[in-house]
Structure 1
């Protein structure tokens, strides 16, 4: 069967958001107001910022505004991998902050546990499962890299178990798997939309004033405070936290630090008991493959398979538009790769096919800044690993807004920003050259060409 035929009934809505339990949106802001803290953005980062601010000081008056609805963008349509890494993986952290990597790993594991504790504290029903994750080898050269990585992880107290072909296929049965690296404790799987909606309810219960369908259009100083304009009213705040990520920052000075790239995913219909038995997957780990152009894959609570990744598409001038959310050529590629990986599932259909923008920066993990004499904080650049790292970033922003020196604000990762992207058309040309080079490396046993080696020397290397 042509794999593309499995897409014939796939709807364009992200699976997680296609949920009859989706909460009703709160009312838009239609009058001027004031508050102690204004949070701009209703994704994970903004929600964590509002929640933690109220936990730190229940008397603080916190307002959160969101241009659409809570969790409608990347926070509601991602793969649901909640990882401990704050640095886009151990190798990336080693390349950039070797002197503080042990501390970053410790803080990352503490952050992951804090997310789990919060979910339990507020009774958030988001199918949280501390399964760990597999990074699977589909080419022989990738196996040697996994043994090397396991040794590096052990130096930082992270247990990573190398599996041979028989062992990984006993976990998840695919004829393409030659080995894997199993991180048993550093990743949890969850329902991403339910997490966003649960955090929204927790914020409301603590007294956060949330206004959806309320976009921020400008930010400026106003006497001792900060004024943020919206279509129908102005918010005057003592402090402001900007959590807009892939969307253009209200601060023009930050717009060269990130670019939006489009990521895509498919979701299958639920597997029958026989189909699931043919795949195994008893421990329900999420997995990704070890190529540069990688897939990320997981089971849902009702035994569907989410199959995403591979293509990461940048549009000239960084345009974020709804029409980019659908890309049939990518969906066709993903469908072919799915049935190549799981030939025993021939005949399975996809029910959902979706995409959307995520933000990335030149160091592939979050960066931080303050403006307006320390009264506005900003973070962005999560590069697809924001489910967990956004909570840590929220704590950093609140520390910065409070003017506090903490173990977080003392990190070089927090104190230094990445290199900005060049302006167009150089940006476009550089991203396209990198994308083509990464594809060639996958076809050439991982060997990186001169362009990628140059980026590595500049601290801009990208290998995942």
Structure 2
């Protein structure tokens, strides 16, 4: 068993040299995850004359971009109703349409740039395995039909044909999701950025970001006309943004490669990603080498937005994920698990992602994806490129552009509130298993999360 992400096995780390002296560039991007790399890619596509430098504290793809569950989805953490209340119904529809288009755009770039990352758009199936979950699935369908999200309802037989989990009563299915090997996607985009003339400096932690300059921990100063913060969960560690994002951990396990006979009893023949309609978020995929990768929330938020290597592990959560899989798929009894890992994702106080740029200061930012970032980072990168260069299309007018979430509460209120929300989600699922009805605690969860 290894605690390194499965996705890192065989990764060809370029070992890009750090910044060792002062440097001047047109654009400095802090963070070499997908937000930073897509931003660099589209900036260089838009204006090849730009000098673009991406700096990374560890290595390319070290954060959530290189350790997530591998969903390129049109999911968005803010409901269209919330967006419509502030921006109008048309703007809400445009935001969700842009997300669906972003899934296709990732696939287009992967094909055009010949990035080998196992991209396969098989959609996502979300099971209903209790009567309460089936109620929620039907509510999801009505909601999706109103907003044109493309979701359909599957009956028991149709759902089981896609994914034969125990207790399946039905499911929702949405075609706008692809499976991907995320670290290979990161490394592939990074290689294209360098081919286009961009520079990536690893092992270059940043001490502060300000208008016109980025100061590194080691001392060198980067002078830049434009500075983009693309640090997601690690934004909480930077001066000036410590309460902008709450880093909350998500953990994942991976099985050994399964046999054809085992997969015949599980499903996912079309390479669908999968989840179910419980309150505690879970997510899974069938990898290109026939492993089952399964992750979920449930790990605690750490006081004062703590991010440490030891937080990547939580034996209790790992055991819960494995137990859940055995309950869903009895054929997995006795199967070996080869990898288990975790990492923080970034959650803004109102659960609304944002991307923005101030031409007066030259400062830009993007993030707060709440775990739905693989496609959103692509949309963020295209938006950053438009805002910086001034060559704007309709995506620069979307509701999330220039959105700034309010700050999280100071400690210990932040620690109490976030962990209370995690516990309420767990208790809500337990309530539904006992009563068979939608949990009354769901309203408490909505109040605590604020969305």
Q: Structure 2-normalised TM-score? A: 0.92
What SS does structure 2 have at the residue aligned with 1:235?
Answer: strand
What SS does structure 2 have at the residue aligned with 1:75?
Answer: helix
- Per the alignment, residue 286 of structure 1 pairs with 273
Work out the CA distance in 2 between the residues paired with 1:356 and 1:24: 22
Q: 1:453 to 1:226 in 2, by over 3 A?
A: closer
- Per the alignment, residue 346 of structure 2 pairs with 359
- Per the alignment, residue 343 of structure 1 pairs with 330
- Per the alignment, residue 223 of structure 2 pairs with 236
Work out the CA distance in 1 between the residues paired with 2:225 and 2:372: 30
The more displaced of 433-442 and 331-340 is 433-442
Q: In 2, are the aligned partners of 1:284 and 1:298 still within 8 Å (CA)?
A: yes
Q: In 2, are the aligned partners of 1:68 and 1:213 still within 8 Å (CA)?
A: yes
* Residue 432 (str. 1) matches residue 419 (str. 2): yes
- Per the alignment, residue 5 of structure 1 pairs with none
Work out the CA distance in 2 between the residues paired with 1:268 and 1:402: 45
- Per the alignment, residue 452 of structure 1 pairs with 445
Q: How many corresponding residue pairs?
A: 444
Work out the CA distance in 2 between the residues paired with 1:219 and 1:103: 32
Aligned Cα root-mean-square deviation (Å): 2.2
Within a 5 Å distance, the mapping from 1:10-409 to structure 2 comes to 10-19=1-10, 21-87=11-77, 99=89, 100-184=91-175, 186-221=176-211, 225-248=212-235, 252-370=239-357, 373-402=360-389, 406-409=393-396
Work out the CA distance in 1 between the residues paired with 2:168 and 2:81: 22
Gaps of 5+ in 1: 1-9
What SS does structure 2 have at the residue aligned with 1:113?
Answer: helix
User: Post-superposition shift, 1:31?
Assistant: 1.5
What SS does structure 1 have at the residue aligned with 2:410?
Answer: coil
Gaps of 5+ in 2: 433-437
Work out the CA distance in 1 between the residues paired with 2:301 and 2:373: 19
User: Post-superposition shift, 1:195?
Assistant: 0.1
Q: 1:298 to 1:178 in 2, by over 3 A?
A: same
User: Post-superposition shift, 1:101?
Assistant: 1.5
Q: In 2, are the aligned partners of 1:263 and 1:313 still within 8 Å (CA)?
A: no
Q: In 2, are the aligned partners of 1:17 and 1:72 still within 8 Å (CA)?
A: no
What SS does structure 2 have at the residue aligned with 1:266?
Answer: strand
Q: Structure 1-normalised TM-score? A: 0.90
Work out the CA distance in 1 between the residues paired with 2:80 and 2:129: 21
Q: 1:454 to 1:63 in 2, by over 3 A?
A: closer
Q: In 2, are the aligned partners of 1:88 and 1:385 still within 8 Å (CA)?
A: no
User: Post-superposition shift, 1:416?
Assistant: 3.1
What SS does structure 2 have at the residue aligned with 1:182?
Answer: strand
Q: 1:17 to 1:97 in 2, by over 3 A?
A: farther
